[in-house]
Structure 1
Amino acid sequence: VRTCGPDHFKCDDGNCIPGSRQCNGLRDCADGSDEVNCRNMTQCNGPDKFKCRSGECIEMSKVCNKARDCPDWSDEPIKECNLNECLLNNGGCSHICRDMVIGFECDCTPGLQLIDHKTCGDINECLNPGICSQICINLKGGYKCECHNGYQMDPTTAVCKAVGKEPCLIFTNRRDIRRLGLERKEYTQIVEQQRNTVALDADFNQQMIFWADLGQKAIYSTVLDKRGEVGSHTKVIDNVQTPVGVAVDWIYKNLYWSDLGTKTIAVANFNGTKQKVLFSSGLKEPASIAVDPLSGFLYWSDWGEPAKIEKSGMNGVDRQVLVETDIQWPNGITL
């Protein structure tokens, strides 16, 4: 039968743990027997406190002072009081051994953690969410971050950024459509003399933008980057009553819009020659819409009574309500 040293606690399964770990609020015995029948003593934590095997708490300075301060003498184990266990085989520690007044503790170098009480193993830093912008690769004693194809790492922030042209913000103020470069802050007008443009979206691959004009009751498109020209644009969809939401599927090249007047959501190809109404029932005040062509889903908000946010497949199947409680005026939606 295994015997434990006087400063150790014997678990019910026969294993020995340092006595200081008994009743410390953590399971150190595999069977948890070190935390059973613990008197709820005053907390005995910190480097200047020592917990007697019998449960009392004394000052660390009283340990190994050849006087009985614990009722059970556990502060005076004769063999261990002047013994540096780290001198023999590093105390059995795989990395760092720290001698203490009674006993010793094992520790690890950065990037490693104790797997059991003596052996250090690699920390998988990649389990920390958000430690890398995109790809995390665990290394022994560390980790490294990488980016997906089409992205490069910013040397100062280590965030992955898309390779390619400067990103820009395209927006409307109802009368015209403008664009703002997000790095050089270049500010230009793309389309002018609109009557009431309220919704727009873009296909950046083809450098096209689409917008709905409530005054003209139509949806238009134009090509970006015509060397600063303002002007020519194409009517893609007419016969819409109140187009308040527009979303571009940049993969399959389709255009989705919501019509507040007819209470419908419809889809068409980019030149408007093929059209289909996806939803014409169950809509009160359809507002903003958004598409996720990578996963094949369409999302929209409806601020009718009762207000809600719904989703469906991009072909109109599997419609379901996502949010319908504690929501009143979901006027804009984005992914």
Structure 2
Amino acid sequence: EVPECNTNGTCSCSTGSFGTSKEVFFCSASSFLDIDECELGIHNCSQKCHNTKGSYRCTCHSEYFKLASDQRSCKRLDSEEPWLFFAYGQSIWNMSMNGEEIYLQKSGLQKVAMIDLYIKEKKLYYADVQPNILEVTSLDGIYSRQLQTFEVDGLEGIAVDWIGKNLYSLRRTDLFVQTLDGLFRKILYRKIFRLPRALVVYPQKGKLYASDWSSSAFIACLNMDGTKWQKIITAGIIWPNALTIDIFSERIFWADAFLDTIQSADLDGKRRRTVVEGSNSVPHVFSLAVFDDHLYWTDWTYRGVLKANKLNGQNFTILERTTFSPFSINLLFMNFLDKKNACDAAGCSQLCLISGGKKVKCECGDGYFLEKDGHSCKSKCSDKEIVCDGSESKCVSKMYRCDGIMQCKDQSDEQNCTLRICPPGHFQCQTTKDCKMPSAICDGKRQCVDGSDERYCQ
């Protein structure tokens, strides 16, 4: 028997239990039922929660953390300090986690909105949508290279897969994947979105998450090879404006810029909980990041970078104010790297895509097909043709390359050309630069000294 209830008729039960007795003034121990604090989301574990009879216990990822003395927090085993990176229109900045130090990372841009980091090689990927450029630069500023100069306008999210060494991107209604060097690109889905907004990958699990804020807003989950597409959040969501994943608690976080909330859920969309809410705290979140016990985000109304506790929204702090609206935010931390992965041993000649868990498979960029060995890729075009980059995968005769007329929508047939002196539409001999009429090409008679006018004929 348990102690008698208060004389006013209200009963209380021990933590982790609740009474089911219908008696007014007392309840027996047999009437107590254990509740699962982990399932109900009423725990305060930093990472993992495990239900016990009448209570719960917290655990941490043992490779990187140890359980703190408060028995709920996870303390990192290393002392390395991460850094925040955020896009700011014409520039990219990096900042200490407490906001006390801030440095200019990259300037001279026009409208950079999306960024992500390839931590292993200390590279920063960003989309400058106004000049239609996707670029990569080393964090020390020594190395910089354009990866793509087409179909960058309309990009709504980029995400680096540090295991498969790929870059995923959302553009208008489509989902793309390409190698980090930009050489091979594949469309995973066409016309599957209406108003896509945010993108995040979880390579250790082989999962990709994307949001859409159309009239039927949703958050979707799929394998990183494009299989098993599923909408996991469809209710109570209007403008899912930001996504991030806490890989240690294995929860996804998102911000709704219409509902003024930051929420979280398990990776399958279950066990939702609201972390921060209200127009005074999160009036218009654009991008999210998570590290240790805190969420970090950019907000257009505050015009700044902010943070709060990831479990309850407490310790709300404005880290940095900006003159204009900030965009994408991400963080750099070197120690959370997978030392080995299946793609290293897969032997894929172009794309290595994670198909869920630790399984991988080789794929080819658009314009190529996978050969029978399951690793090698061969062009769908003949050896006398080139394949257009971008989304059309069109084969164009090499004789039309650098002729001054765009055959490819992405202009790839007119890129990296030598100096051209002939009028558009005329053939220019490769060595002598002589100009020949189109009617003289592939007529069975050599017009150019080097024979280049007859070289790529069918």
Question: Shorter-chain TM-score category?
Answer: 0.5 to 0.7
Report the structure number with the largest CA radius of gyration. 1
Change (3 A) 1:186 1:286: same
Give the Cα–Cα distance (whole angstroms) in 2 for the partners of residues 321 and 133 of structure 1: 25
Give the Cα–Cα distance (whole angstroms) in 1 for the partners of residues 86 and 166 of structure 2: 21
Identical aligned residues as a percent: 21
Give the Cα–Cα distance (whole angstroms) in 1 for the partners of residues 26 and 205 of structure 2: 55
Q: How far has the Cα of 1:191 moved from its partner?
A: 0.9
Q: How far has the Cα of 1:146 moved from its partner?
A: 6.9
1:299 partner amino acid? Y
Aligned to 2:122: 207
Give the Cα–Cα distance (whole angstroms) in 1 for the partners of residues 197 and 59 of structure 2: 40
2:217 partner amino acid? A
Q: What does residue range 295-334 of structure 1 map to in structure 2 within 5 Å?
A: 295-334=205-244
Aligned to 1:119: none
Change (3 A) 1:239 1:135: same
Give the Cα–Cα distance (whole angstroms) in 1 for the partners of residues 80 and 93 of structure 2: 17
Change (3 A) 1:155 1:297: same
Q: Does 1:236 find its partner at 2:147? A: yes
Aligned to 2:194: 284
Give the Cα–Cα distance (whole angstroms) in 1 for the partners of residues 162 and 77 of structure 2: 17
Do 1:212 and 1:244's aligned partners in 2 also have CA atoms closer than 8 Å? Answer: no
1:324 partner amino acid? T
Q: Does 1:274 find its partner at 2:184? A: yes
Q: How far has the Cα of 1:131 moved from its partner?
A: 5.8
Give the Cα–Cα distance (whole angstroms) in 2 for the partners of residues 185 and 306 of structure 1: 41
Change (3 A) 1:237 1:163: farther
Q: How far has the Cα of 1:133 moved from its partner?
A: 5.7
Q: Out of 172, 180, 185, which is 2:87 matched to?
A: 172
Do 1:180 and 1:187's aligned partners in 2 also have CA atoms closer than 8 Å? Answer: yes
Aligned to 1:150: 64
Change (3 A) 1:283 1:134: closer
Give the Cα–Cα distance (whole angstroms) in 1 for the partners of residues 99 and 233 of structure 2: 39
1:320 partner amino acid? Q
Change (3 A) 1:328 1:317: same
Q: What does residue range 1-335 of structure 1 map to in structure 2 within 5 Å?
A: 43=25, 130=44, 148-151=62-65, 159-161=74-76, 163=78, 165-182=80-97, 185-224=100-139, 226=140, 229=141, 232-240=143-151, 241-260=153-172, 263-335=173-245
Give the Cα–Cα distance (whole angstroms) in 1 for the partners of residues 147 and 122 of structure 2: 16
Change (3 A) 1:130 1:305: closer
Do 1:257 and 1:289's aligned partners in 2 also have CA atoms closer than 8 Å? Answer: yes
Alignment TM-score, normalising by the size of structure 2: 0.41
Q: How far has the Cα of 1:282 moved from its partner?
A: 2.4
Change (3 A) 1:316 1:180: same
Alignment TM-score, normalising by the size of structure 1: 0.54
Moved over 6 A (4+): 143-146, 153-157
1:291 partner amino acid? V
Aligned-pair Cα RMSD in Å: 3.9
Q: List per-residue Cα deviations over 1:99-123 (Å, max 9, x = no partner).
A: xxxxxxxxxxxxxxx9xxxxxxxxx
Structure 1 unmatched runs, 5+: 1-16, 27-34, 46-113, 115-125
Give the Cα–Cα distance (whole angstroms) in 1 for the partners of residues 45 and 195 of structure 2: 42
